Amino acid sequence: MDTASPRTRMSVLGVLVVACFVALFARLWYLQVIEAPRLVGEVSAQTRRTVAVEAPRGRILDAKGRVLVDNRTSLVVTVDRNVLSRIKDRSAYASSIAAVLTRFGNPTKTSTVERRLAAQQGDRLRAVSVATDVSQEVMVYLSEHSSDFPGLSVSRESLRVYPYGMAAANVLGYVGRITADGLRTLVPGEDPDSGEPKVYSPDSSVGLAGIEATYEKDLRGTPGVETIEVDSKNRPVRRVDYTPPRPGSDVQLHLDIDVQMRAEQSLREKLDVLRGTAQRDGTVRRAPAGSVVVMDPKDGSVIALATHPTYDPAEFAGGISQDRYNELLDQNGVSALVDRSISGQYAPGSTFKLVTATAALERGLINGNTYYDDEGSYEVGNPPQTFTNAGGVKNGSIALPTALTISSDVYFYWLGDRLDGTTAIQDAASDFGFDTRTGIDLPNESSGYVWTAAEKKALHQKYPKQYPDGEWFTGDNVQLAIGQYVITATPIQLARAYATFANGGTVYTPRVAWRVLRSNTLPTVEGGILRTIEPAIAAQRALPAEIRDPISQGLGAVTTGLGTAASAFVGFDQAAFRVVGKTGTAQVQGKADTSLFASYAPADNPRYAVAAVMEESGFGAEASGEVVRHVYELLAGQTLTGASTVVQGTRD
């Protein structure tokens, strides 16, 4: 039986109720007074978002300060991601947008708009870009018909612009939207003033080729930060704070745009003239592609780097279609996106005789007065294998200088035979920078190769089907001596080798970029130069007089008199500007020959090393020799001789 009175029970209940209210009020006081600052911050953080604002990229300048790549403002059509998520018939919506763009001069497929709208990459607070570089008429029309296009707007963004059009596209490169992989792996650069990282966002543009890619950390600007207040559905309400972006640093190149354009023009015109004509053995020249390299032998700076075919980097500025990209990959059987000056791999032909001559002289095998009777052919092996001069020409008793001047293959077959069993030629090639990448500051460089007996055997063992014979024959060494069969080189390697000979034996790492400058600041202004890319020596090799003199004598006569390139330099003032060089003709199975010419000038004080390589274009003097001559006309300040013609050279 419960003995507690009703009064007692009510008292206990009252105490409990009072205790609950005291605890509740204590908790409210704690939250509203003690925890208030922290909780206000949390609520604020939940209603605010920060968005990165892309900064303008730095400019790219040539050696004389002329702007090669700049920025301009472009009208961009965007769609609010939040509004887009509420549109039910997205296909009809995309079709309407495509129709308006096409109507006002921006031909656009519905599928293109749909693909861009469907892209998941990107901050939901950032609008989806569906078209760039639209006309003013598009902006006016969309503003007048805004109710028909919910979430659609036109804004102004920075785009890359190229004042010299397609010139130097392979060097400058292009930019594009960062990929998901790039977002994970790219290490951002730092702001030169604040040290703040130039962070990437899913909507960032990055360099994808050329200087744009190599110097991405410098060219990229420091993004701004916009703080936006959003509602419960993540929709923007108002801007809370804004830190403006800072433009990227400018990059100045060693490139001279005048020389670059002359090299590109001469190359393009000569290929056009040769295409469809027959070389002396009757083989039709396709002349599809080629390249020209101009270097300074004194420090390795790259003055011009031409390649053909090429592309217009402006096509990438606003986003290139897949169809157009595929077209660039196949321009009459060759890709316009491959920079042949650094990636093309070719047998160097007789231009390689510089290396063979150096090897033979270094080994004491010959000197400048060692004669050999060139009867037009040379036999090696048992059963004998016969190698001949071009056209079977007999040159009689000749020494090294004459063998270089008239490009006697037989003389160098003889040297290759006598050097068989050694790696003398391969070693000399390595000293001149062949068989390895030059390290030029551009992406996608190839290394070429100069096989040794051991390498040929190893390739056979690893890939027996592709390389069915792993044995090294005397014939291999004989062909190596004239730059055929077991060797390939890139045009930049070829130019560097002749630059090395010209400067007396210093192998420089080629450099396109000269210095990094503060944005829109002249280098003469204090603090305008952020850093200079200093010349880099990759190696040194000895070229004493007993090696250098007979080779110089032979190469110096190539462009005059009976030299193989004399026809290409008719009318050129050699007295004022003596060109030292070597023609090359590399045979390609089932195709016209590869034409090559490597050189330096002026002979007494070399300031330029110029090399040209032209695919399926015939003999050296007929094609590449003339292209190089036109480049030297500009470098020497001589009169341009006019349109390219087909010149029937003597040899090589």
Any idea where the domains of the chain sit in the sequence?
Answer: 43-83+163-253+516-535, 257-505+541-636
- Pairwise pLDDT comparison (166 vs 139), residue with the higher score: 166
pLDDT, residue 648, reads 42
- Pairwise pLDDT comparison (258 vs 8), residue with the higher score: 258
pLDDT digits (tens, 9 = 90+) for 37-76: 654 554 444 576 666 778 999 999 999 999 999 998 778 8
Beta pairing, strands 250-253 & 224-230: unpaired
Q: Which of 440, 551, 536, 438 is nearest to 504 (CA)?
A: 551
pLDDT, residue 156, reads 75
Q: Considering the chain, what is the average pLDDT of its residues? A: 89
Does the pLDDT at position 644 exceed 50?
no
Q: Where does the pLDDT of residue 526 fall: very low under 50, low under 70, confident under 90, or very high at 90 and above?
A: confident
- CATH classification of 43-83+163-253+516-535, choosing from 3.40.50.300, 3.30.465.10, 3.90.1310.10, 3.30.360.10? 3.90.1310.10
Q: Where does the pLDDT of residue 324 fall: very low under 50, low under 70, confident under 90, or very high at 90 and above?
A: confident
Residue with tokens 């010209």: 502
Q: Which of 477, 361, 355 is nearest to 420 (CA)?
A: 477
Which of 167-171, 173-177, 256-260 is predicted with the least confidence, judged by mean pLDDT? Answer: 173-177
Q: Decide: 195 and 91 in contact? Cβ < 8 Å.
A: no
Q: What CA–CA distance (Å, rounded) separates 298 from 194?
A: 37
pLDDT, residue 90, reads 82
pLDDT, residue 60, reads 98
Q: What CA–CA distance (Å, rounded) separates 189 from 197?
A: 6
| Helical packing angle, 491-503 and 353-362, nearest 10° | 40
> How many whole angstroms from its chain centre is CA 331?
18
Find all residues with CB under 8 Å of 401, minimum gap 6, and list them: 368, 550, 551, 553, 554, 557
- CATH classification of 257-505+541-636, choosing from 3.40.50.1820, 3.40.710.10, 1.10.3720.10, 3.90.1150.10? 3.40.710.10
- Pairwise pLDDT comparison (248 vs 224), residue with the higher score: 248
Q: What CA–CA distance (Å, rounded) separates 223 from 51?
A: 10
Q: What CA–CA distance (Å, rounded) separates 311 from 264?
A: 12
The residues with which 536 forms a beta bridge, in sequence order, are: 509
Alpha helices in 186-321 (DSSP H): 210-214, 216-219, 257-274, 314-317
> How many whole angstroms from its chain centre is CA 172?
7
- Pairwise pLDDT comparison (358 vs 6), residue with the higher score: 358
pTM of the model: 0.85
Q: Where does the pLDDT of residue 30 fall: very low under 50, low under 70, confident under 90, or very high at 90 and above?
A: low
Residue with tokens 């604040």: 194
